[in-house]
Amino acid sequence: TDRHVCRPYRTAVVLLDAIARLWRDQFQWLEPPYEYEYHKMPIDILSGSSALREELDRGLTPDRLESLTWVDAEAWWNEVQPYLLYG
């Protein structure tokens, strides 16, 4: 696998979307509590906001998939670099 091409988060979102569409009657999000949080949905904590859950509930479009899963890795790296102990 080419780490410069592989997009595992995007792959996971596509799989979640497929599962939610194929098994709509059985699919449901895990309710709180999750870890230390008693109010937020666990998927919202894991994905960073409610946007992913809301888009999957509506039916994810290809355009929204791209905007939800695009990450500027270089900008992220530049932002976190000063805080890395072993970077």
Whether residue 3 is predicted with pLDDT greater than 80 in this model: the reply is no
pTM: 0.77
- Reported for 61-66, long-range contacts at CB under 8 A and 24+ positions apart, including other chains, are 65/10, 65/13, 65/14, 65/17
Whether residue 14 is predicted with pLDDT greater than 90 in this model: the reply is yes
For 40-83, the pLDDT digits (tens) are: 999 999 999 999 999 999 988 888 888 888 878 789 889 999 99
pLDDT score at 54: 95
For 17-46, the pLDDT digits (tens) are: 999 999 999 999 999 999 999 999 999 999
